[in-house]
Amino acid sequence: MTGTLEQRPFGRTGETVSVIGLGGAALHKHSYQHGLATVKHALDLGISYFDTSPLYGIGGPDGRWISQGESQRIVGEGLEGTSKPHLLATKIGAWQASNHSVEDCLAEVRDNLRILRRDRVDVLLGHDMEQRRFWKPEANTGELLEIDEPLDYENAPVMQALREEKAQGLCRYIGLSSNQSAPLAHVLNRAKLDMCLPGNEYSLMDRRSPRVMLPVIREQGIAYVIGGIFSVPGRGVVNGALFSDERLIKLAETTGISIAALTVRFLIANKELSTILVGASTPEELEESVVAAQAGPLPPDIQQTLEEL
């Protein structure tokens, strides 16, 4: 494999990251060793952004249960001792507990660091901020944030914890992740952060994320990271669902470009994206996306065809 990965600014931080990042949600899919090999291969491929979470690791091959935090264990071991420059991001998911006080969040971060084999991370995010309990601890599990509800976003426990961890030097940058871009944009207009990670709403078949996120990104200069790029609108990430769309199959056959490569090359045309997370579970899956990115954006006619889908 030849060529290098494009490097892009990570918002206003002064950092640069590879246009392809490794998302850790599927690292445990086949086995611990497959995941470990994927992380190490990512470094060899020039990937410099790694995203994980304590909530990644539940549900393994054939639906069998794997312990919570498995992704962090894999990423921590895979990156341990490397001298290659990179940013490591993990998350706070304490809103899922019965109580998510500032102390709960701080305790979770320290547990994350222990599992990751580090004394700090580069990026710390609040996980799934579209959950109402993220902002209002007494809310019921599963309730989603209503953006017209008056809430004190800046002083929510998770936000206080993020700021405290940054002040203590346990992370360098802070942000929020969400599976819904609209509430994420709403909160970013009310809370000062360094980056954001909307998932599952920017793909070949979905443009919800850039429509609502780009005005915020441009105004605030924060890093724009996306995940779930093989998701299907209204269905989330469904195994193979994106790859069963007849229009995409026909385009792939006509152009000789796989749907995975079409996805990556379509998305990298948006220069306002800092990095695109690929949730690979094997080195081969990751390498396919890297090779696609090295090929550069699609020819204008193919790009326009995809824009019009």
Q: Find the CATH number of the domain harbouring 41.
A: 3.20.20.100
Residue 260 within any structural domain of the chain: yes
Q: Which of 58-72, 159-173, 202-216, 282-296 has the lowest mean pLDDT?
A: 58-72
Confidence band of 244 (pLDDT split at 50, 70, 90): confident
Q: Which domain holds residue 22?
A: 7-307
Average pLDDT over the chain, rounded to an integer: 90
Sign of CA dihedral 193, 195, 198, 203: positive
The verdict on residue 1 lying in a domain is no
Whether 17 is covered by a domain: the verdict is: yes
For the segment 69-94, the average pLDDT, to the nearest whole number, is: 93
289 lies in some domain: yes
Residue 212 corresponds to which tokens in the numbers above? 């609502």
**Residue 2 included in any domain:** no
* pLDDT reported for residue 250: 93
pLDDT at 239: 47
Give me the pLDDT at residue 136, please: 85
**Does residue 288 carry a pLDDT above 90?**
yes
Is the residue at 284 inside a domain? yes
pLDDT digits (tens, 9 = 90+) for 47-75: 999 999 988 876 655 555 566 789 999 99
Question: Structurally, how many domains does the chain consist of?
Answer: 1
Asked if residue 286 is part of any domain, the answer here is: yes
Planar angle of CA 60, 62, 64, nearest 5 degrees: 50
- Going by pLDDT thresholds of 50, 70 and 90, the confidence category of residue 309 is confident
Asked if residue 226 is part of any domain, the answer here is: yes
Cβ atoms of 225 and 197 closer than 8 Å: yes
pLDDT average, residue stretch 104-110: 88
